[in-house]
């Protein structure tokens, strides 16, 4: 197995599937099955999900809402998605624990790093909700921070595109995909991988990133088996 412990970042929007809003149960079940597959291979899996399918802090600000207020609402949205994924995973027969950066003791554990690591060692999938618990940080940053804290081998960012391209593939047909790229190349070329805070955190802590298409069934398993999928950002 290529990786022993991973942090999987899923986007909230992806959970919508073909819907306009909310959670598509089919998509959710699909994700659960793929996570189960790698968990059964013995990979220790932690997950961070965004909340964009329910609420986006930045849009709230555009609408006149206080940014900090909006960001907290976004954090709560990630807890809703985390609970949905937890339920789907348990339905698929995977043991899980949900930890939140904002205390909600009636519904989940608080984030305690050492406890999270213990759960992972017991092959439980650990979902981290409520981002970092702070406004002005994205869920990509939360994913990166948690990955560093639990000493994950890699951050896997599941998106709609299957990697990093020389240009935006939706706009430029001549764009080509990188199989691997270094952190300094990403900086030099001004490519967008994650927001700069998250990306820099990975760089400074020597944490590789894989950008891949999570909606292509089997991709996650292939990565664990060491196949080339998506784009690997390395040192």
105 is a site residue for ligand GTP (CB under 6 A): yes
Stretch that binds ligand GTP, among 10-18, 72-80, 101-109, 218-226 (CB under 6 A): 101-109
56 is a site residue for ligand GTP (CB under 6 A): no
Among the listed residues 118, 160, 206, 227, the single contact to ligand GTP using CB under 6 A: 118
Stretch that binds ligand GTP, among 40-48, 59-67, 108-116, 186-194 (CB under 6 A): 108-116
- Between 120 and 209, name the residue whose CB sits nearer to ligand GTP: 120
123 is a site residue for ligand GTP (CB under 6 A): no
Among the listed residues 18, 106, 114, 188, the single contact to ligand GTP using CB under 6 A: 106
Among the listed residues 1, 107, 167, 217, the single contact to ligand GTP using CB under 6 A: 107
* The CA-based dihedral angle spanning residues 232, 32, 123, 40, taken in that order and rounded to the nearest 10 degrees: -80
* The CA-based dihedral angle spanning residues 194, 195, 200, 202, taken in that order and rounded to the nearest 10 degrees: -40
- Least distance to ligand GTP from the beta carbon of 126, Å? 10
Q: Print the binding letters for residues 62-91 with ligand GTP: x by CB under 6 A, - otherwise.
A: ------------------------------
> Total residues at the site for ligand GTP (CB under 6 A)?
9
- Between 123 and 180, name the residue whose CB sits nearer to ligand GTP: 123
Among the listed residues 109, 149, 151, 213, the single contact to ligand GTP using CB under 6 A: 109
Binding residues vs ligand GTP (CB under 6 A):
97, 105-110, 118, 122
């Amino acid at each position: 197995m290529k990786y022993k412990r991973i942090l999987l970042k899923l986007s909230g929007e992806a959970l919508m599937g073909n819907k306009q809003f909310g959670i598509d149960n089919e998509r959710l079940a699909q994700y659960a099955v793929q996570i189960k597959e790698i968990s059964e291979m013995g990979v220790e899996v932690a997950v961070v999900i965004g909340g964009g399918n329910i609420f986006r802090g930045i849009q709230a600000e555009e609408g006149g809402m206080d940014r900090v207020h909006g960001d907290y609402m976004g954090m709560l949205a990630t807890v809703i998605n985390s609970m949905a994924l937890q339920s789907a995973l348990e339905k698929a027969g995977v043991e899980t624990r949900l930890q939140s950066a904002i205390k909600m003791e009636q519904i989940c554990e608080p984030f305690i790093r050492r406890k999270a690591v213990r759960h992972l060692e017991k092959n439980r999938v650990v979902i981290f909700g409520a981002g970092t618990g702070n406004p002005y940080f994205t869920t990509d940053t939360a994913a990166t921070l948690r990955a560093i804290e639990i000493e994950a081998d890699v951050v896997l960012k599941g998106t709609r595109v299957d990697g990093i391209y020389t240009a935006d593939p939706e706009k430029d047909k001549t764009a080509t995909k990188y199989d691997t790229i270094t952190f300094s190349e990403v900086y030099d070329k001004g490519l967008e991988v994650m927001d700069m805070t998250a990306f820099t955190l990975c760089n400074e802590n020597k944490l590789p990133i894989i950008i891949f298409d999570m909606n292509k069934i089997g991709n996650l398993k292939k990565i664990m088996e060491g196949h080339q999928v998506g784009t690997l950002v390395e040192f």
